[in-house]
Every structure is written in C-alpha cells, then in structure tokens.
Amino acid sequence: MNSLDRLHDALGLRTSPRIFFPAALVAIVFVVGTILFTDQVDAAFAGASGWIMTNLGWFYILGVTVFLLFLVYLAASRFGRVRLGDTRPEHSGLAWFAMLFAAGIGSILMFWGVAEPINHYANPPLQDVAGQTQAAAREAIAFTLYHFGLHTWAIFALPALGFAYFMYRRNLPPRVSSIFQPLLGEKIHGPVGAAIDVVAVVGTIFGVGVSVGLGTLQINSGLNTLWGLGESRLIQVLIIVAVSAIAVASVSVGLEKGIKRLSNFNIILAVGLLCFVVATGPTLFLVKGTIESVGVYASALPQLAFWNDTVNGSGWQNSWTVFYWAWTISWSPFTGIFIAKISKGRTIRQFVSGVLAAPVLFSIVWFGVFGWASFDIERESPGELVGPVVEQGDVATALFGFLENFPLTTLTQIVAVVLVVVFFTTSVDSAGLVIDSISNGYEEEAPVRQRVFWTVAMGAVAATMLAATGEGGLAALQQVIIVVGLPFFIIGYVMIYTILAALKEDAGEAPPIRALRWRRVLPPEEAARRTEDDEYDESEFTVVPELEPDQEPHELDPVLVADDDGRA
C-alpha cells in the first residue's frame, strides 16, 4: 500500500486516491498560490487568456457549432432510437426539465437576463447599426439568444450524451475517461485515464467557481440595493461562505431530497417572476416582442454560428462569446454527468430533443420578456439601465435596477435574491455530487465528507478568484476560465469520435437496431474492496471492459430500443 492509499484509508474515504488527491492538491495550490503570489498569478492568466483569445477564438466558435450539428445528425439518424439504459425514465418530464434548468442555465438567466440585452442594445456587436434603435434591439436579442440558446445547450448535451451512453449502455464508471474507452480500452484505469479525470475535476471546480463568483456579485448587488450593505470583497466572501453552507446541507441529503426539491421550488419561483413582469409591464409589447424573437434568432443563427468578427477585428467577441463558450464547457463534465444521471432510460432522440428544445424554448421566452421589457424601460426613461449597467459597467445590478420599474419593487427584489441563491446552490451541490462520482468511479452512496470537501473547494476557489486577485471581479473570472476551457474543447472533438465509434460497434451498421451488452465496470480499487466484502457478488462487475458472457460480436441479441412512436 503506497502513501496515498494509507492517507486515503486514514481519512475514511472511499474514492480513487490517484484522482482525488491530485485534483484536491491543484485546488489547494491555486488558492494558496493566488493569495501568496497575486501579481504573478494575475500576469500568468492574463497573458495566457490574451493569447488564446487572439489566436484560438475561432476554435472555440467553430467547436460549439460542430457539436450542435453532430447532435442534430445523431438524433435524426437511426441511432436516435437507441435507449440510454435498459429501464424507463426515472423522472417525469416536468421534474426532468426543472433539474435541467436549475443545474444548467437557471443561474445564467438570472445574471444575464437584463444585462446582456441592454448591453448589446446600447453597443450593437456588429457595429453596422446605431445604438438604442429598433435595429439595435433586434440585434441584441439575436446575439443574446445565440449565447444562451442551442449553442449553450449543445455544450451541455454532447458530454451528457457521452456519459449516458458509456455509463448506461456499456456500464462504465461515471468518469470522463470512460468516454475514451473506444480509444484507450482498459487503459481508462491507467495513468492516462486518471489524468483525464483530474483535468475534468479541476476544470469543473473552476467552472462552477466562476458561476459562484458571478452569483456572488449579483447577490451582493441585490442586498446592497435592498438594505444598503455596500459592495466589498469581505461581503462577497461572506456570501460565498453562506451559499457554500447551504450547498453542503443540500448535498449531504442527496439528489432526491436536496437538489430535486430545490430545483422544483426554484422553477416555480422563476416562472412566477416571469409572469409578474409580463402582467405588470407592457404586456402586449412583450408578447409581440417574444414572438418576434423566434424569427430574429432563427434568421440570425446561420450567420452567427460561424461569425468570427473577421473584418472589424474589434475584440468584442473575445469578452463575450469566447468567454461564454469557455465558461460553459469548463463545467460541462459536471452538467454532463448530472444530465446523464437524470436522463437514464430515454432514447438518444428523446434526449437530444429534450435537452436542446425545452430549455432553449424557455430561454427564448425569458430573454424575450426581460430583453424587450428592458428596451421599453430605456425608451421611456433614457439612461435608466444603460447608465449604470453599460456606462458604469455595473453588470451585477442590472436585474435589480430593472425591477425598480415594476410594482412591489422590494418584494420582487427579495424574490430575485432568493432565486439567485437557490440557483447557485443547486449548481454547487449538483457539482459536488458529480465531482465525487468522477473521483470514486461509481454511483452508489459514498462518504458524505467527500461531497462536502468538493463543495467547500468550489467555494474556496470562487472566493479566491474574487477576493485574492488583483483584477476586478468579472475580469478575473474571465481570464481564468478562458484558459481552463481550452482542453475541454479538444476533449469535445474526441467525444464526437468515440460516441459514434461506440454506436457503430454496438448497434451494427444496418437496421434493425441491435446492440451488444457490456458488463458493469468498476475502478480497480473499488473492485478490490468489493471482492473482499462478502456483501457483493463478484460476478456482477469487472475491471476490464468486456461483453456479457452470452454476447459474441456477431451474435447479437436485441436490446431495449424505442419504436418511432417512442414505445420500447
């Protein structure tokens, strides 16, 4: 037994030491190193992010569009009928959507719902129209939906599909390395597989840390608006501590009691706030604008999907689109595994259409209402939102300034703060569960202390990025995440190859859809523990990925797939 194993056992853990400890060490080194060497860390991330934005921004733009096109192809192909697992879906459609929304994009909508449309309305990205005009409003809606529509959810859906397939069709561990099994085989348990999973855990910690940082800025702004608490790094750190504490409590009770209940509560509250804005605002204007947003988005999408600001070279895209894509993909391992867990039993076609269509439709409605309402406020009271949000750069205050133009201001601002807190709590506790799954390599209950550690680690990284860096809060978050996101784009292209290769191998090259059945795979250390424990049946798992005993590559048995009407 080596030193890591002895430390692992002494701490009472049940995970993979070669993944848990290196990832934990990186997080700790970042926190300590940033505090001790603030200027040097700032300079390193500033230089690296600057180089990436200048030379590889196009790679980020192209990558997300390729992911989206691949998913649409897969859903439309005969592979769309393959079921992700051999059971029926565990969650109803409404509960499924609520958890998708809360863990995936709910927090983003709260932060950018007003801030992004009003920014683009004042400063149109394409620079071919005047600000604060009708054309600027349409352009603002087009870019906002480009950022938070199909492309964002393609970033979530691609790894989620990979996880769901390899976890529930090939019975591999819930790890990023499992998606590499067609390339690595049993080496997913070796040093290369461990390195992939360490990168995934670290990237998730930083990606969720950025979300926590943005949420903290918004919560701080809301509390300052409501009760004049002021905006300072000390208050922001205290907010992170409070949010992390709530997340620890939620993650301790698990998915059903914690995350699911919080998600359902928040989706009801968010819809309530949305309906309130429609009912008390310029209702007819908002309804017409939201419907118009569908056409604006659909007509602009083909151009924006490949737009690289080639002629103007203004650098606008780096601080908006590139930042979004890097940020989103950095926490795609967490959202991917989480979405896979709650999507077990659905077909690929159901999965892709559900993950892309339902949240995107809600995003169109959300930004349609809040975006057009923002434009109306600015038309009636010039400078009301553009002044503080755009000219003064106080992005975090956008939602609360917006709500000052509606009845029951104090109540709705309190509701907004609660929404932000719960959305970020569900993001953090979902990430804690998923990171623990990546580390230990199985889905059963693990010691609570492991999930608590990862939850605290994400809070610590977020606090460090906000409070212990020389840059301003949002700028510091952008610099770090653009660097962290790069390896995930490379992994994304590999995922496309491995998913397609596995489908062709398992399902064969010609209809009807038939697929090989694979034995459940556990990491070596967990398999060794279960071998020594009489409670487990050794015949139910393996370490080396292999077929069920009665399966031969050319003698295939049908597996549970869906007919065209969705029945098995």
Q: 160-211, pLDDT tens digit by residue?
A: 999 999 999 999 999 999 999 999 998 999 999 999 999 999 988 888 888 8
C-alpha span between 23 and 28 (Å, rounded): 9
For residue 176 the two structure tokens come to 């990023």
Q: How many CB atoms lie within 10 A of CB 436?
A: 25
Residue 538 falls inside a structural domain: no
Query: What are 125-138's pLDDT values in tens digits?
Result: 987 889 999 999 99
pLDDT at 558: 45
| Number of domains into which the chain is organized | 1
Q: Is the pLDDT of residue 94 over 80?
A: no
From the CB of residue 313, how many other CB atoms can be counted at a distance below 10 Å? Answer: 9
Q: Is 561 helix (H, G, I), strand (E, B) or coil?
A: strand
pLDDT band at 91 (very low <50, low <70, confident <90, very high): confident
> Would the pLDDT of 290 be above 80?
yes
Least confident of 305-309, 456-460, 516-520: 516-520
344 within some domain: yes
- The confidence band for 554, taking pLDDT boundaries of 50, 70 and 90, is very low
Residue 446, pLDDT above cutoff 90? no
Residue 425 lies in a domain: yes
Average pLDDT score over residue span 408-413: 96
Does residue 223 carry a pLDDT above 80? yes
Residue 529: inside a domain = no
pLDDT tops 70 at residue 260: no
Query: What's the pLDDT at 311?
Result: 84
Task: Confirm whether 53 is domain-assigned.
Answer: yes
List the CATH number of the domain containing 256.
Answer: 1.20.1740
120 located within any domain: yes
- Residue-wise pLDDT tens digits, 322-334: 989 988 898 788 8
Q: What is the pLDDT of residue 306?
A: 95
128 DSSP assignment: S
- What is the share, in percent, of the chain residues with pLDDT greater than 90? 48
Between CA 230 and CA 412 the distance in angstroms is 20
- Domain, as residue range, for 298: 3-488
Mean pLDDT, rounded, of the chain: 87
Cα angle for residues 116, 117, 120 (degrees, 5° grid)? 85
Give the pLDDT score at 168.
Answer: 93
> Which of 71-80, 243-252, 258-267 reaches the highest mean pLDDT?
71-80
DSSP track, 148-213: HSHHHHHHHHHHHHHHHHHHHTS---SSGGGGGHHHHGGGGGSHHHHHHHHHHHHHHHHHHHHHHH
Q: What pLDDT digit, counting tens, does each position of 481-507 carry? A: 888 888 999 999 999 999 999 999 887
437 inside domain: yes
Please answer whether residues 487 and 199 qualify as being in contact, where contact means their C-beta atoms are separated by less than 8 angstroms: yes
* For residue 535, pLDDT beyond 80: yes
In a domain, 285, yes or no: yes
Identify the band that residue 566 occupies on the pLDDT scale cut at 50, 70 and 90.
very low
pLDDT for residue 469 is more than 90:
no
Question: Looking at the predicted structure, is the pLDDT value of residue 555 above 50?
Answer: no
Mean pLDDT of 526-543: 87
DSSP conformational letter for 83 = B
